[in-house]
Amino acid sequence: MSALDLIREELTQILADKGAETGEIAADTPLLNGPLDIDSLDLATLVVVLEEKTGLTPFADGFVLFHTAGELAALFGG
């Protein structure tokens, strides 16, 4: 499973738990202030889950700026 597929899967679950609509999640989908009903806490939860599932910690040395699902996926190996 690619990192983007994992992001889609986890975001779908986060949105479902909130009772929010998922919609399409593409590489160019903005993660905040876009079509998805997620906030910074949801995004932090997503990052923690990605770290747990991939074993990668791209933020170990500090925050790395990202805006889209694809940019986040690239931090977790594409």
Give the whole-angstrom CA distance, residue 34 versus residue 75. Answer: 20
Is this model's pTM higher than 0.75 or not?
Answer: yes
Instruction: Go through the domains of the chain in sequence order and give each one's CATH number.
Output: 3-75 (1.10.1200.10)
CA distance 37 to 58: 24
Q: If you average pLDDT over residues 46-71, what whole number do you get?
A: 93
Looking at residue 68, what is its pLDDT?
97
What percent of the chain has pLDDT above 90? 83
